[in-house]
Amino acid sequence: MISIALDGVTKRYTKGEHVLTPLENVSLEIASGDFFVLLGPSGSGKTTLLNLLAAIDRPDAGRVIVGGTDLAKLPSGRLASWRSEHVGYVFQQANLVPVLTAYENVELPLWLFPMSRAERHRRVSLALEAVGLLERAAHLPRQLSGGQEQRVAIARAIVADPPLIVADEPTGNLDHESADGVLTLLSRLNVERGKTIVMVTHDPRAAARGTRRMQLDKGQLLDLQPAGTP
């Protein structure tokens, strides 16, 4: 179980002479167990916010506290292992390693933990079972459909059992049916396993799965009605 707090976070990028400020003094709290959906037009800073939560980027100002850890205070050498223990990242593209089988792709994060082969096998099997692809374990990514690839990516994100899953447009490249499968999977992870999920999307159908939704626009957050409430 993990909770998230952003406190006055600002992030700037310099691109040539232009300075972009996707996040300006943003504060936000996400409760443990939320399925938090972040909406917004492209370029609004959604991915930036996600990257800050996933500790692959650092804010220029403000604090990002995930599960009680102030990420800014974490030495950069510790960040990587913090990530492997706390965050599962799902991308718009599955980003699987093409030379590894589905099984090995899922196994990848476990290589970082001291763990017996049998234990790894158990966890990978569980994760693949959870996404319904156990029978495809030996397939290479190019032998899978787009939806299947994305489900393997989700399995990879949950295999190390991180409390937080961040998903960046996980259905952006998928057809309706596959997208539904992926969203259902994320909902179940949220409901059945209590994972905190932060998902970025601009697909309203995807957004509808969230327990809490916010809109990011011009660096500012705007609270939206939770799904299902009139």
Q: Count of CB atoms within 10 A of residue 157's CB?
A: 26
Write down the least CB distance from residue 59 to other proteins, Å. 12
b/e string for 109-125 if b means 16 or more Cβ within 10 A?
bbeeeeeeeeebeebbb
Residue numbers at the binding site for other proteins (CB under 8 A): 51, 54, 56-57, 77, 80-85, 87, 89, 91, 95, 97-100, 108-109, 111-112, 156, 160
Task: Pick the closer one to other proteins by CB: 69 or 95.
Answer: 95
Task: Pick the closer one to other proteins by CB: 62 or 213.
Answer: 62
Write down the least CB distance from residue 107 to other proteins, Å. 8
How far is C-alpha 179 from the geometric centre of its chain's CA atoms? Answer: 15
Write down the least CB distance from residue 172 to other proteins, Å. 14
Task: Pick the closer one to other proteins by CB: 87 or 197.
Answer: 87
Euclidean distance between CA atoms 97 and 222, whole angstroms: 37
Task: Pick the closer one to other proteins by CB: 10 or 211.
Answer: 10
Q: Is 137 within 8 Å of 101 (Cβ atoms)? A: yes
Write down the least CB distance from residue 96 to other proteins, Å. 8
What element of type H or E holds 26?
Answer: strand 18-30
Euclidean distance between CA atoms 199 and 218, whole angstroms: 19
- What DSSP state is assigned to residue 143? G
Six token digits for residue 172: 């952006």
Six token digits for residue 225: 């009605």
Helix (H, G, I), strand (E, B) or coil at 13: strand
Write down the least CB distance from residue 98 to other proteins, Å. 7
Task: Pick the closer one to other proteins by CB: 90 or 185.
Answer: 90
Count CA atoms closer than 13 A to 85's CA, side-chain side.
12
Write down the least CB distance from residue 21 to other proteins, Å. 16
Closest CA to 183 of 194, 197, 193: 197
Task: Pick the closer one to other proteins by CB: 199 or 213.
Answer: 199
